[in-house]
Structure 1
Amino acid sequence: MSEATTAGPPEGQPLSLWLATAGTTDFPELHGTVEVDVAIIGGGVAGLTAALALKRSGRSVAVLEAGRIGTGVTGHTTGKVTSLHRLAYTELQRNHGASAARTYGLANQAALEYIGGVVAAEGISCGFRRVANYTFTAGPDMLPQVRAEAALAAGLGLPSTFTADVPLPFPVAGAVRFDGQAQIHAVQYLQGVAGKVDGGGSFVFERTRALELREGTPVTVVAANGTVLAGDAIVATNIPFGDHGRFQALCLPHRSYIVAAPVDAPPLDATFISADEPMHSLLTVRLNGVTFLLVGGQGHPAAEQVDPALRYAGLARYARGQFGAGSVAYRWSTQDGLPRDGLPYAGPLNPDSRHAFVITGLRKWGLTNGTAAALMLVDLLNGTPNEWAALFDSNRASSPATMPAAVPEAAGAPATGDTVSREGTARGTPDLGLDDGTVVETDGTSTACYRDTAGQIHAVSAICTHLGCTVGFNRGDRTWDCPCHGSRFDVYGKVVQGPAIEDLPPRPVP
């Protein structure tokens, strides 16, 4: 791995602090045919956790990552490793009962301990450290709910207490406190795990996007320049493909934002999330002699058209006003699938699947939910009973009582077609400033046009290669985003995030 610094991103460009400070990996691209016991699609926390656990159990694996290890959703995390997920236990008990809430909590607590064990056993240098985690409220309105959550979680066997003593530099009315939690440099962790997976008959392939998954004996995973033949396959790509669209109906793509700014103080031995709205997620970390405060929040459904610059600015104001933080050094967004019934999915990819499995819908708590889901699937593949299996079952029937009201697929946009019109859509020749984009409609064709900082216009089709929605330009992140199912493309049309697996094809400049 090469070294990285904390110099910050190029002016105006979004960049995760974790990716900026992790160095890079250089695993090979898949060429030819490889035969293993299990093919794993996705090099994030779920896929690599499954890969390492399977290899430890004596199975050979091949991990296919479309980019570099950790550059997907896991590389855009807050870095919290915790079983305290805001006020999750009140919600889960209300919708699924106390037994389900207990199983969810114990699964996440076990995942936390598993990560700590891997770090120690494999000697992975990733800044893993034990901290307390708090769900706090600043005023009296949410105090009864916070007290109730603390009592409920304690009754479920979790390390929970209620406290009014919260180590934050502003008044707090009270908080749920979970002791013995952790924080981590997630990208360094994944890079370390990948290094332990690769070798001895197992493989990690980067720059290898899976294009097709064919179930059978063997299961076949097809990439651009090679094929993996396996007894089983796990799809761990945040938003899965090969599922005939079933999880797009079950999980709502949701965007959130994070800024990292320097603070003149040592890092806190705690992480935080507010019970109040707007929600703020807080973490401090020291890297290369600089203490950074991470503030996350400002989330919204991916279908909702917003100005990301305003979201980042709101987080920056909070960092300055509450912590005296300096200018933002890093900013980034992330997109997760929120399961409509509130529980992650891990199990068969489709109802009739026998050898293809999926992990998705991790509730924005992927470091622990993804780890727990991966360990559960490994037990399933190894024929070992697992007490979490029924809760995470991907074939479960969701009760209408637990399903939130359906969200329009694209905030008013059609599910397919070439007719979406939104702010930033023009007709005729594009009139663009530098480093800006718009969708141009000419003769019934929609073209996504981006003018780079040198003044050159790059044009690609504006029609998402997943199911045909029209993309829009995200000025904050410099991406073309699909409002229907959450696919994202860079300014040149390359896939950044699925479910799309094909790039936006080039088009003539209108």
Structure 2
Amino acid sequence: MNRTSGYKQPVWISTEPYSNRPDFPKLSRDVQVDVVIVGGGIAGISVAYECVQKGLSVALIEAREALSGETGRTSGHLASSLDDHYYELINTFGEQGAKYAYESHQWALERVGTISMNEGIDCEYRNLPGIMMVEVPDTDPTYNKKNNLPDEVDALKRLGIPHKFYPNGSIGKAYTGAVLEYEQQGVFHPTKYFCKRFEFWNRRANVLKEKHADKFQAYTHTRYVSHKDHGSSAGVTVSTEGGQTLQGKHMVMTTNVPLQKVAVVVKEAYYRTYCIAMRAPKGAFPDQLLYDNGDPYIYVRKTAHPDPNFEYLVIGGEDHKVGQETQEGYGKHYQRLEAWTREHYPFVEETEFRWSGQIVEPNDYMAFIGKNAGMSENNVYICTGDSGNGLTHGVIAGRLLTDLMIGVENPWASLYSPSRKPKPRTIPEDIRENVDQNLQYMRFLKTDVSDIESIPRCSGAVMHGGLKKLGKPVAVYKDGDGKVSTFSAICPHMKGVVAWNASEMSWDCPIHGSRFDGLTGKCVMGPAIRGLHAEDEAGEEAQKGTSG
């Protein structure tokens, strides 16, 4: 899991293999720059790019490889057609706040296009219509979700957002009904964009102007441990697992979830989302973004296939809370996505890729981008709470955080501020989410299996450790030869008990979404900053045998 955060591989490697990713050294000395960035995904890279454009020197560190987090596992949508709906944003943030939400996301998707064009990056970027439907089953009396497209149309009219509405439209073979079309949306190949944009990192080319060449440095396999904010003008010191430090005037945490215990982390919910890529004859599917706002939520786009006679349909959805799924249930999400696709688009052929990713839902729809909240820090910034739009949120962070650092007033700042107060209409949902997270501590009283023999090969389960481990839960992994390795099942972040993810072969914490490599216990996603403790020699050997 050094290259990506799951066992299943995303479709993007079919046309941009891991061997094309930039290769950076491990930090081996102390560094002093203007801005220290922790996290090598779209947010970190976007902030680094915008900082360098404004003349700031940057050092970026990543615990594993560049693009090994969620950026390389997205569906590659660039959307201002936010699935939280503009009528909800108006009710929560007012019309001006909703306008800023549209303006910022539209800027971000166009920014990717501008950079791609200016720098000659071939990453499949194109502007497309975004088509939204709400498939409401007539035969299910328990289904209580209404078709909310008329409400959204009214909101778009109030905000002046370009759109078209068809009360009697059709999608594919299985849907006839209301269709809402958002104009000027976008798609791209996420890893092609960053690999080609930053090839200078790999000393193959220099995409930035030569005068900026000494402004950027990046280090992989360099894990953050802690940081110290020294005050308004004294800057920040970041300490790493290897003992080196990075000193900067500013620090930006772009790790999907901030590496801290409270504050913003408790204002978010954590979900797994699923994707498949199905082969289809080239040209059989119109080049558009499709969103089915029914239950479950589903999204569709297409991308290039290595065989020019075909293309991929990328279909995603089937979201559920992290660590809250049966082992049999993981595979069923892929099956349901495939069944939905074959019903609507019977021309599709085989499914060539299946993978999943992580979504961080903020408590009031909008991401947290700005100065770190609740930590009394003046020089530390965060970007988290992607709400299913992590690609555009990451690009927004590039502009907004750089503006905040150099003292430029940005009208989006208050909308995305991590210190904003909860809106009264979101408080009941906050309470429900906190209750749900706390209920997950009941896993301390449960065991997945009573005997190691019950664990299938290449799989894991949580057992109680018995007297030897003082009854503490133990994460047990059995490899293909039947060899067993054990780790503490207690997440080092807030002491939740992890659960086995049969899809991605990982240990997932149902409290705040931290994830760990199932074979080694290494941390692959925060807010935890270290891995699961090895409980036997086999676990220790597994951790010694890998880096990251």
TM-score, length of structure 1 as denominator length: 0.91
Task: Give the letter aligned to residue 399 of structure 2.
Answer: L
Is residue 157 from structure 1 mapped to residue 151 from structure 2 by the alignment?
A: no
What is the distance in 1 between the residues matched to 2:235 and 2:96?
38
Contact 1:135 1:176 in 2 (8 A): yes
Q: Indicate which of 104, 126, 133 corresponds to 2:130.
A: 133
Q: State the distance in 2 between where 1:338 and 1:284 align.
A: 25
Matches within 5 A, 1:272-287: 272-287=290-305
1:379 aligns with 2:403: yes
The answer as to 2:502 corresponding to 1:478 is: no
What residue number does 1:399 align with?
423
* 1:94-493 matches, cutoff 5 A: 94-138=91-135, 145-163=148-166, 164-165=168-169, 168-195=172-199, 199-216=213-230, 217-225=234-242, 226-242=244-260, 244-266=261-283, 267-289=285-307, 290-306=310-326, 307-324=329-346, 325-351=348-374, 352-403=376-427, 404=429, 405-407=431-433, 408-410=435-437, 412-414=439-441, 419-422=444-447, 424-426=448-450, 429-441=452-464, 442-443=466-467, 444-491=471-518, 492-493=520-521
TM-aligned CA deviation for residue 374 of structure 1: 2.8
Measured at CA, do residues 440 and 171 of structure 1 come closer, stay the same or move farther in structure 2, by a change above 3 Å? closer
**Residues matched between the structures, number:** 496
Change (3 A) 1:448 1:140: closer
Matched-pair contact (CA < 8 Å) for 1:143–1:173: no
| Counterpart code for 2:417 | D
Let me know the Cα RMSD of the aligned residues.
Answer: 2.4
* Separation in 2, partners of 1:221, 1:168: 52
Structure 2 unaligned segments of length 5 or more: list them.
139-144, 203-212, 540-548
Structure 1 contact 194–204 (Cα < 8 Å) conserved: no
Cα deviation per residue 1:307-351 (whole Å; 9 max; x = unaligned)?
211111111211222223233211111112111112111111134
Amino acid in the other structure paired with 1:313: Q
Distance 2:263 2:99 in 1: 27
Cα contact 2:55–2:215 (8 A) shared by 1: no
Helix, strand or coil: the match of 1:40? strand
- Identity percentage over the alignment? 27
Describe the superposition over 1:294-317 as per-residue Cα deviations: whole angstroms up to 9, x where unpaired: 111111222533421111111121
CA contact (8 A) 2:173 2:343 kept: no
Listed as ranges, the matches of 1:53-72 within 5 Å are 53-72=50-69
Inter-partner Cα distance in structure 1 for 2:425 and 2:437? 24
Aligned equivalents of 1:194, 1:464: Cα separation in 2: 35
More helix by share: 2
- For the structure 1 residues 303 and 462, does the alpha-carbon distance in structure 2 shift closer, same or farther, using more than 3 Å as the test? closer
Call closer, same or farther: CA 1:383–1:85 in 2, change over 3 Å: same
Output the CA distance in 1 between the equivalents of 2:158 and 2:116. 30
CA contact (8 A) 1:438 1:448 kept: yes
Verify the 8 A CA contact 2:70 2:358 in the aligned structure 1. yes
Q: Mind listing any 5+ residue stretches in structure 1 that lack a counterpart?
A: none
CA 87–500 in structure 1, closer or farther in 2 if over 3 Å, else same: closer
Which one is further off, 326-335 or 485-494?
Answer: 326-335
Distance in 2, Cα, partners of 1:420 & 1:400: 35
SS at structure 2 position matched to 1:94:
helix
- Partner secondary structure for residue 412 of structure 1: helix
Alignment TM-score, normalising by the size of structure 2: 0.85
Seen in structure 2, the aligned counterparts of structure 1 residues 78 and 233 have a Cα distance that, compared at 3 Å, is same
Structure 2: distance between partners of 1:291 and 1:78:
15
Deviation at 1:430, TM superposition (A): 4.6
Aligned residue identity for 2:357: T
